């Protein structure tokens, strides 16, 4: 199954290696930024939260510019400097010693990360054919999670709050990991350039832009679907899931850590099987299934909250099961969403399409955490469970409504062959 999921072109395979190795570096630091800023560098909780929020806001604001630059100059000329900027910013975290320096470093990291995801998706789209793109995006997501998991296990054995040097080490290693995809891209001089088809035939004619992208009715519906799904799904994991599990289900933080580890294991083990199953099937129905799985995950978590401390083991099992079910839904979303985005995109606007798709997570990442706290605080979290479940099911309906707007090829369905006339 792994061989079947690998892209045909060796350049794309090398890009996937870069994804895995850089993800290991990301996994080294992913769980620890807040702890590092507060417990090691002495920032107050509110200031550390503002720094992290500032990073998200700057990334979101710069993402549209990144898409424009990718379309104008080619993904290569944008991704390479962004990887170097990201490496410098991440390494700079090792030297943070005040709120001002934390904000400065967060700004540098945000500038670098604003176009990396959309640029790399654009490059992968240029290196793959339409019939393999969905598999490749799914494999890319599995490798990303595998790398993050390996990095997290490694850093867990290294870091010690009493020894700041251990945190400085993992941030320097993370910075170095961003150089790996940069070196791989430099070794592929023909990859990532602006396609010739992207140049307008009539330079004096109207140029496409984000308004053109937004006029694409199917893509507009896909964006609305993504906003609803991620706001009630991904954006709830960091705050809503953790807060409900600890405060309502009353499990220990260690159980939450086990649950998130289980989520990663499910993704890595199930992704190739899911890719094989969904090939040649409707992408919109797969997206609708994502909403259903996310809703089931939150219902399972809600049940764990009802059990509470009376049956601690059962509550812990519900929390872990929630994360596992959610991970299975992710294995459906990760290959289909970028594949459908690039099926709708044109060569001249592919960077903007991918930038808008990545912005969905940025917008929902602002809305989700802000709304999760008050909702969990009301009615012992039952209102929060009801809202996120309803939101995920609404996303499923939006996905199904998209099917009629797509051609069979865009939807991933096999195109029916015209019947040959029977000879007389």
pLDDT at 99: 93
- The answer to whether 96 and 336 are in contact (CB under 8 A) is no
Alpha carbon dihedral 9, 15, 17, 19, in 10-degree steps, equals: -140
Q: Determine the average pLDDT of the residues in 128-133.
A: 92
Q: Are residues 283 and 320 in the same domain?
A: yes
Q: Are residues 169 and 248 in the same domain?
A: no
pLDDT at 300: 96
pLDDT at 22: 94
The answer as to whether 130 is a domain residue is yes
The answer as to whether 418 is a domain residue is no
Token pair listed for 107: 């700004």
Q: What is the DSSP letter of 308?
A: G
Q: Are residues 116 and 222 in the same domain?
A: no
Q: Are residues 270 and 353 in the same domain?
A: yes
pLDDT in tens, 44-67: 888 887 888 888 889 989 999 999
Q: Determine the average pLDDT of the residues in 209-235.
A: 94
pLDDT at 203: 45
Q: Are residues 221 and 129 in the same domain?
A: no
> Which single residue is written with the structure tokens 């060569």?
347
Confidence of residue 34 (pLDDT cuts 50, 70, 90): confident
Confidence of residue 179 (pLDDT cuts 50, 70, 90): very high
% pLDDT > 90, the chain: 63
The answer as to whether 245 is a domain residue is yes
pLDDT at 105: 96
Q: Determine the average pLDDT of the residues in 322-336.
A: 95
Domain that holds residue 356: 212-411
pLDDT at 308: 64
CATH code of 91's domain: 1.20.1250.20
Is pLDDT at 423 greater than 90 in this prediction? no
Confidence of residue 415 (pLDDT cuts 50, 70, 90): low
pLDDT at 325: 97
The answer as to whether 235 is a domain residue is yes
Nearest to 333 by CA among 225, 257, 410: 225
**Whole-number mean pLDDT of the chain?**
88
Q: Are residues 104 and 231 in the same domain?
A: no
Alpha carbons 230 and 369: distance in angstroms, whole number:
12
Is pLDDT at 157 greater than 60 in this prediction? yes
Q: Are residues 246 and 389 in the same domain?
A: yes
Q: Are residues 257 and 389 in the same domain?
A: yes
Alpha carbons 153 and 139: distance in angstroms, whole number:
21
Is pLDDT at 201 greater than 60 in this prediction? no
> Which single residue is written with the structure tokens 């320096």?
101
Q: Determine the average pLDDT of the residues in 331-347.
A: 95
The answer as to whether 106 is a domain residue is yes
The answer as to whether 199 is a domain residue is no
Confidence of residue 285 (pLDDT cuts 50, 70, 90): very high
The answer as to whether 87 is a domain residue is yes
Higher-confidence residue of 419 and 130: namely 130
Q: Are residues 125 and 35 in the same domain?
A: yes
Q: What's the structural domain count of the chain? A: 2
Q: Are residues 88 and 51 in the same domain?
A: yes
**Which residues, 6+ apart, have CB-to-CB distance to 370 below 8 Å?**
none
Q: Are residues 122 and 225 in the same domain?
A: no
Is pLDDT at 31 greater than 90 in this prediction? no
**Which residues, 6+ apart, have CB-to-CB distance to 140 below 8 Å?**
16, 19, 124, 334
The answer as to whether 424 is a domain residue is no
Confidence of residue 365 (pLDDT cuts 50, 70, 90): confident
> Which single residue is written with the structure tokens 């790398």?
147
Confidence of residue 239 (pLDDT cuts 50, 70, 90): confident
Q: Determine the average pLDDT of the residues in 391-406.
A: 96
The SS3 call for residue 208 is coil
Is pLDDT at 417 greater than 70 in this prediction? no
Q: Are residues 285 and 379 in the same domain?
A: yes
**Which residues, 6+ apart, have CB-to-CB distance to 27 below 8 Å?**
147, 148, 149, 150, 151, 152, 153, 154, 155
């Amino acid at each position: 199954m792994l061989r079947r999921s690998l892209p045909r072109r060796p350049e794309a395979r090398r890009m996937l290696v870069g994804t895995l190795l850089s993800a290991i570096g990301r996994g080294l630091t992913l769980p620890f930024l807040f702890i590092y800023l507060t417990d090691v560098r002495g920032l107050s909780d509110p200031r550390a939260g503002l720094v992290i929020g500032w990073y998200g806001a700057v990334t979101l604001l710069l993402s549209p510019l990144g898409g424009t630059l990718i379309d104008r100059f080619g993904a290569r000329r944008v991704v390479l400097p962004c990887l170097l900027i990201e490496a410098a910013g991440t390494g700079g975290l090792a030297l943070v010693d005040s709120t001002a320096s934390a904000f400065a470093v967060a700004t540098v990291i945000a500038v670098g990360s604003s176009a990396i995801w959309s640029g790399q998706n654009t490059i992968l789209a240029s290196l793959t054919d339409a019939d393999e793109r969905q598999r490749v995006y799914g494999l890319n997501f599995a490798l990303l999670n595998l790398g993050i998991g390996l990095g997290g296990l490694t850093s867990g054995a290294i870091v010690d709050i009493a020894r700041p040097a251990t945190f400085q080490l993992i941030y320097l290693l993370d910075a170095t990991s961003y150089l790996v995809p940069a070196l791989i891209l430099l070794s592929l001089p023909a990859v990532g350039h602006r396609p010739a088809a992207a140049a307008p035939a009539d330079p004096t004619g109207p140029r496409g832009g984000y308004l053109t992208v937004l006029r694409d009715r199917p893509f507009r519906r896909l964006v609305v679907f993504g906003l609803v799904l991620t706001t009630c799904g991904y954006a709830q994991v960091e705050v809503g899931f953790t807060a409900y599990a600890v405060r309502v289900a009353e499990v220990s933080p260690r159980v939450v850590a086990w649950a998130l580890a289980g989520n990663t294991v499910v993704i890595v083990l199930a992704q190739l099987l899911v890719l094989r199953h969904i090939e040649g099937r409707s992408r919109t129905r797969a997206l609708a299934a994502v909403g259903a799985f996310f809703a089931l995950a939150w219902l399972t978590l809600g049940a764990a909250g009802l059990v509470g401390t009376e049956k601690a083991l059962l509550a812990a099992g519900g929390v872990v099961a929630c994360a596992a079910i959610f991970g299975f839904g992710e294995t459906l979303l990760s290959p289909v969403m970028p594949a459908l985005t690039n099926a709708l995109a044109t060569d001249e606007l592919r960077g903007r399409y991918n930038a808008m798709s990545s912005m969905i997570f940025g917008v929902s990442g602002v809305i989700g955490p802000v709304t999760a706290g008050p909702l969990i605080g009301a009615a012992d979290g039952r209102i929060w469970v009801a809202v996120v479940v309803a939101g995920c099911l609404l996303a499923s309906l939006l996905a199904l409504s998209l099917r009629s707007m797509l051609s069979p090829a865009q939807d991933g369905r096999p195109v029916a062959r015209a019947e040959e006339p029977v000879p007389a």
